[in-house]
A = this chain, B = another copy of it.
Amino acid sequence: MNASLRTQSLTVQRSLWRALDADAQARTLQRPAQTVAAQTRRTVAALIDEVRSGGLEALRAITARLDGAAPASFEVGQAEFAAAEAAIDPALKQAMVEAAARIEAFHRAGIAQPYAVETAPGVVCERIIRPIARVGLYVPAGSAPLPSTALMLGVPARLAGCRQVVLCTPPRKDGSADPAVLVAARLTGVSRVFVLGGAQAIAAMAYGAGPVPACDKLFGPGNAYVTEAKQQVAQNGAAAIDMPAGPSEVLVIADAGANAAFVAADLLSQAEHGPDSQVLLLSDDAGLLDRVEAELAAQLAALPRADIARQALSASRLVQVDSLDEAFAISNAYAPEHLILALRDARMWLAKVEAAGSVFLGDYTPEALGDYCSGTNHVLPTSGAARAYSGVSVASFQNFVSVQAASAAGILAIGPSAVTLATAESLEAHANAVRLRLQEAGR
């Protein structure tokens, strides 16, 4: 078989969960290795150093070297925004306007409220909420620019009320930004947009460089260099980040009644993201697995990104389980970014979900709805991070500050406990700070 023919054939691994030993089960759930090469770490560290020491000149040199582009100005001006508005298809603009409205409706409803509790007579404890002052959004444009990501980050940033919202997106060869990304940024009220990509964009937003102001927290997906740069600036304490990031992934749980064409289309829409995308299908029905496998081959042939999808599928698995309960146990251990429940009573089964980024219920809820316009966020934890991280929300752009106020009666009520505890911890100055107040309040 020659290489070309091999590329054309579709290989999907089928297995019966019960027949696998523990090692084989673990291998089935193993993500493609995501170890960052030492070379990538060094390259990114060097880029960050270059940006920190070289400022604007460094941004110019790196962008010429890595993007082959020489933007006249890194910051997008009014004329370019106006040109973008004129350039894009009105239907696309309308779709973005509608998506932004639904994203806003969902995110607004989840905004946390301040509260106050009197925890003892004269002691009031509160939680107040403040926007993170300066945030930086990264919108990738690798194989294609992603205006939807600008909506997913810009809308909650605006709802939080962040004072400074900047957005970086890579330049095209002619040095300009993708018009749809610019329109999306404008829709959400992002204040400043820069045509700057990769690790250099992350470094600029973390430390400030050239025209790019320093930010307190950075958001958004990106390639391996962007991801590594976010990790490094967070590790250095320069800026917080939204979450660790890895390749996109979906896990589908389907029953005998599921529509095989829909399931196959969902698997393929995940697989087309990249060759390292991860796709898992669990079903208690062998016939459904057969039908999905046939549909995969049929639908794949028609896709423009068939080569990418085929590579991703080759690392993916169709797994037959004995019961849907077993499927949920596997899913909870895997903690998928996207979880599709192609089940007859999907809502009933939702109670079984312990860890996932975003869940899609029933036959008419493809993952693509959440990617674009149902209203939920598509910046989600990957690589099992959903066990302990959540997707982006308005809270991701806020600080929650606790506040307490004790009156004289309040310190008399709880001060003695504080003295006892401070003394037990050998922190005598703590005890003294309370005792001085107790003396004064007790007069």
Q: Is the CB of A130 within 8 A of B385?
A: no
Chain B nearest Cβ from A185, distance in angstroms: 15
Please, how many angstroms separate the alpha-carbon atoms of A346 and B370 in the complex?
45
Residues of B contacting A422 with CB < 8 Å?
368, 371-372
Please, how many angstroms separate the alpha-carbon atoms of A14 and B372 in the complex?
56
Pick the contact of A370 from B132, B370, B404, B417 — CB < 8 Å? B404
Q: Is the CB of A373 within 8 A of B421?
A: yes
Q: Is the CB of B119 within 8 A of A105?
A: yes
Within 8 A of B (CB), among A354-399: 354-377, 383-391, 393, 395, 398-399
Known: A421-B99, A421-B373. A271 touches B437 (CB 8 A): no
Please, how many angstroms separate the alpha-carbon atoms of A375 and B410 in the complex?
12
Pick the contact of A410 from B123, B364, B407, B424 — CB < 8 Å? B364
Q: Is the CB of A374 within 8 A of B404?
A: yes
Q: Interface-forming stretch among A1-9, A20-28, A89-97, A186-194?
A: A89-97
Chain B nearest Cβ from A129, distance in angstroms: 9
Beyond A363-B437, A372-B430, 16 additional pairs, beta carbon < 8 A:
A98-B417, A102-B125, A112-B112, A128-B359, A130-B353, A133-B332, A262-B433, A265-B429, A266-B433, A269-B430, A272-B429, A273-B427, A369-B418, A371-B418, A371-B430, A390-B399
Give residues in A with beta carbon < 8 Å to B: 34, 89, 91-92, 94-96, 98-99, 102, 105-106, 109-110, 112, 115, 117, 119-120, 123, 125, 127-128, 130, 132-133, 143-148, 180, 216-217, 231, 234-235, 237, 239-240, 244, 259, 261-262, 265-266, 268-269, 271-273, 299, 302-305, 309, 332, 346-347, 350, 353-377, 383-391, 393, 395, 398-408, 410-411, 414-418, 420-422, 424-434, 436-437, 440-441
